[in-house]
Structure 1
Amino acid sequence: MRTYRLVIACPDRVGIVAKVSNFLALYNGWINEASHHSDVQSGWFFMRHEIRAESLPFGIEAFREAFAPIADEFSMIWRVTDSAQKKRVVLMASRESHCLADLLHRWHTDELDCDIPCVISNHDDLRSMVEWHGIPFFHVPVDPKDKQPAFAEVSRLVEEHAADVVVLARYMQILPPQLCQQYAEKVINIHHSFLPSFVGAKPYHQAALRGVKLIGATCHYVTEELDAGPIIEQDVVRVSHADSIEDMVRFGRDVEKMVLARGLRHHLEDRVLVHGNKTVVFD
């Protein structure tokens, strides 16, 4: 069913829900799903509505025009999207295949409602798997001594393929600040630890040395600060003293795949609202 997704964040006050509901009722809008959250600490209000597109007498551009005065009145940060317009997802990976393979499978079986115009990698190892799915694969090697040309090419490819979101599916390079700023809240990463614990390289090794009883994975938006962006999704699995680092890596891969897929789905369905360095996720 085709829907419009109305997503709103604004300073909290009386009358927000009533105003939005009255607007939709005025045009006979049929609400399929409604989610609200009032953050007492920040004083902000968050809302997500899914409205049946066929119930409204106008298209999405007219919706935006009609709703704009209400948005101005309540100082809203808002957007409305059309579920019929699939988001374009550029995937990036290095050598490890588990996250990339999982996302490609979910896309292939229509579990992820998106288009994947290309995959970019700093190694050539995963080309055959990607091209089997009929998706263009771009090998962009990264010279450790001069990474700028590689990331300039990555930026060109992302722009050329009109990406709505970039997913780092175990892409083991740190994006430069310019890319992080250019695509703020549009780059999703999977980090193989339960952040903020064990930031950086080899988190399973760090976890084993610390003797933790839980390991996990974190899906987050990428910012200039390493592994510190707004968190979209997390999960954990229990481990014990008997588990080796290799066991932890094996357990962790399963969690990484699940967490990344859930986080990406939340983003594709416009369920994530970023406020500061936190998120509201209407799942």
Structure 2
Amino acid sequence: MRAFPIAYVLFLSTSAFPLAAQAVAVSELPASIQSCITSGSCVVNYPGAYDSGTASAFEMFDLSSQKWNWLVRYNLVPPSGQTVIGGGPNTAYSGYLWMQVASSYSASEAAHPVTVFLDKVTPAPDSMFDQSGDLSLLVTTADLLAGGAYSTLEDHGEYGYFGSGSLSGELPLICLAEGCKIEARLNLLQLNYANAGSTIVMTGFDASDMRGLVYSQGSYYFDGEPPYGTKQAFYIAAVPEPGMAWLFGFGLLGVGAVARSRRTGL
């Protein structure tokens, strides 16, 4: 059996998106991805496969897991930043928020990993309690298909905790005192997933996605006078560009052609 033709597939996908692609330099990638490339455990398609002007995407093949992933770069714009509730300096964010998603997930798994990289945000966001560096999040199949997930939790003392949503993973630390509320929201902007039986597959990009918030997280104490807390939010400009969403299909044709060639031995 021949080795999987990684370089050939990357070439096919790149040639399928001549108008949408925008190249990325290794130094622009998240630090953990740069380390992955340096160690030889992953391969990234630097020319890229998609660019809407507000987000761009690059294929990545993980050699250890033998899985395809997408690295999505979101261009941050106002009102991205950290807001201190109850007084204190606020901080505006610029730069890029990166996200890693899989090209397909197993439908049998209860939760699916999504990684958010913060190290290309300027200035570097403050740590939210026990968080540091990349955020490893988990979304359910329903949330993946819906394009987003959230989680909220409130501590009402003797009345107990009240929460909603199913986003999990490295979220802000659980409430430490009565009157606390923590929340997080993740939106898979411009990414389309669909159920394909035993797998959930990424079927394409949608530049007409009008949502602007990519990710936000916060921790508040609503029982104080005045209330206080911190919220971090990461936004892109919601500018639709019709006609871009169909481009990804041609990339799938290229990957499919390689897969058929591998099965038939052509």
TM-score bracket relative to the smaller structure: under 0.3
- State the TM-score, normalizing by the size of structure 2: 0.24
- State the TM-score, normalizing by the size of structure 1: 0.23
From the two aligned structures, give the one with the greater helix fraction: 1
